[in-house]
Structure 1
């Protein structure tokens, strides 16, 4: 159940306090509401024992915040699932499928396939499709089973020599089978030097995460210099493509 409309701002004020903001002016800027509004909510929070006189969240306040956010999460999640069931998803027909058929959805080779039998999530086909064609799926029910791939990032020195090629060749063999991604010129040349044609060359880091979340093992090769400029991007991609994590090995 969602909190009442007049409680929403109170919850957001309390959440800001939980994250360390204690000054009403700071919270007002964060929430884009008036200073008087924040002071009003903080007065009520203090009256109800949810924060103390020094504007710190109390045990009662923490329990209240956790309960309210949990209720909101359940409300949002259930409604997103309802909306998802009405959306039209795209899948590849694993066999000839007619509109209106119940299909079973499974991942194969990094792509979503629709089958007429078997386990997995189910849905209804919205169009006729021959095997290998595109079929729209609606009324999705259940969870699609995905075996997430492993993302390995191999860091090589900024200058390539014979020694690094041998170490890279061994590392690539240990991590195969996998898709190979080259990030930058050094990564491209290093892979070519050991006889590997990169499967992914452009927007390699994001593409590697995308492939991994679709169930593909990926080995991305890049130089230390090039990785330095992408380090801030990796946590963002890990959050976006959760639960895929980048496993970094430095060969330099």
Structure 2
């Protein structure tokens, strides 16, 4: 990626400019059999729509905190980059009671109700499907996001030294996220579009979000993001590594 990229949103813009058609995130859920592959262009479109929802409908502004109560999932990756695009702080598994906005999966709705601000719920169903009935007190992401604009422009430019991410209690600026992601990419041998990192790590630590998103993005590589990977036996995992042309693994 470009040496001048200083924020995660910069990395995504460079990826789009370099090759919009290449795979960026391939997601598996080994509890349901789901597989979804998103090209750079498709992923960017989801990010733009989500950022417009966050900035426009939800009224989030730079410096606000967004608690992400979500597992390792392709839609979580979208939210992380949408937060970076708007300039809000993505607080992974953060305290919803201290957040301006909470984004919850179906298993954390009770905890998410502690947020006094805006609440968004993700069903995490295949193909981004909606809830059969939206949870009380929440906007259904799958209902709200399709109508959002495909192009996003922040109201306020996002600076690299502004807080961007909180994970496992550590707060990082956008520049720190990029710097650490580049270092991780080098350590993992991610060298460009031919590199494919398979990650079975949860998104509850820096290692998890780095392997599952930031390090591949920072190096022009792609990620095979696996939820419930422990359900696979070694033979099935070996077949996936071969079929997905994986060059490095983290699990």
State the TM-score, normalizing by the size of structure 1: 0.24
Higher-Rg member (1/2): 1
State the TM-score, normalizing by the size of structure 2: 0.24
Determine which structure has greater relative contact order: mean sequence separation of CA pairs < 8 Å that are 6+ residues apart, divided by chain length. Answer: 2
